[in-house]
Structure 1
Amino acid sequence: MVGRERLCVELGVLRSVWDDWCARRGLTAGEGVRQLVVTTIRDDAAGEPGSILFDLPRPVAGEPRTRIEIRLTIAERRAVERRATAMGLHSNRWIVSLIRAQMTGEPQLGEPELHALAVSNQRLAEISRLLGQLARADSAEPVNRDLRSEWVELRSRVDEHLRTTAAIIRANLDRWSR
């Protein structure tokens, strides 16, 4: 007969907070603790802090897919549909993105993020063209004061692009890792 391995921890005032945290995730208190323990042990073994990441190959267009059935309450289904629509996705695509984000830790971009990144990349292309013009002008003659003001503006545009891109990716990772 195999004995049960049990860990008893006195949580004190944290117990109600822990129960609420688990309830929001649809877990029992024991399931929540087991997930934390597994995550911590795997992260320590892999040298990765805070999450379980799987080494999954990137999906390939045309690769066969399998179906999985999940059952949601009507309210949950409506909430999924609202979130998916807000991101410009169908509910199935939203669920797949949620799963992939959890398993890989990589961003799963929706339509608003893709559009924002496209605009940001167009700005980066403009910056690249300006840099080329400035480099050619600088090689022809020493940098004058007008060019210096353009460099300052250019730096501000590069910084804006970096902030925009970082915010999009951060928001996306935050969304999918909840």
Structure 2
Amino acid sequence: MTIRPNRINIDLGAYKQRWLDYCAAHQITPSAAFRQVVAKLMEESAPLGTGAAPATAGTKVRREIGLSAEEADFVRARAHSIGMSEQRWIISLLRGAMRGEPQLSMAEMAQLGKSNLALLTIARHLQLIGRALQASQPPPDPALHNVLETLHGQLTRHIDSVAQLLTSNAARWSRS
């Protein structure tokens, strides 16, 4: 048996099933999630979980690339700061470039998710205002109701597009 100095063996006791459930819900391996916890505790930026299914399937083709010392240090630092292996980070970056999509970090995805929830609340309130105006006497100016409906539609479309962006980014950062 080889000793691997970077490995940690932890008895989670009663927490094990909850930990596995958490990892499954966030579609992340227990090892990657643990690295994120360690990164967070070490005051580095750690992501939340990742989302959807693997971005690509099928036969893998191995390629070797040569990096300068500076490039290798950069890749190592970036990958480890978000709890990924260097190889996984490079593959995820490549997939994002192939699709021409923004390269959102997990922290940025979490921010966008919170923003989307706030916009959803605003859209609901606009809808409630529109209903209240329609029920009021005397009836409001129809133009006001049209403006509210237009705003609600624009917000809803924006929320949907941001949700799609978050889903595609989560898929990019998922393990495959």
TM-score, shorter chain, exceeding 0.5: no
Q: TM-score range by the shorter chain?
A: 0.3 to 0.5
Normalising by the residue count of structure 1, what TM-score does the alignment of the two structures yield?
0.43
Larger Rg computed on CA atoms: 1
Higher relative contact order (CA 8 A, sep 6+): 2
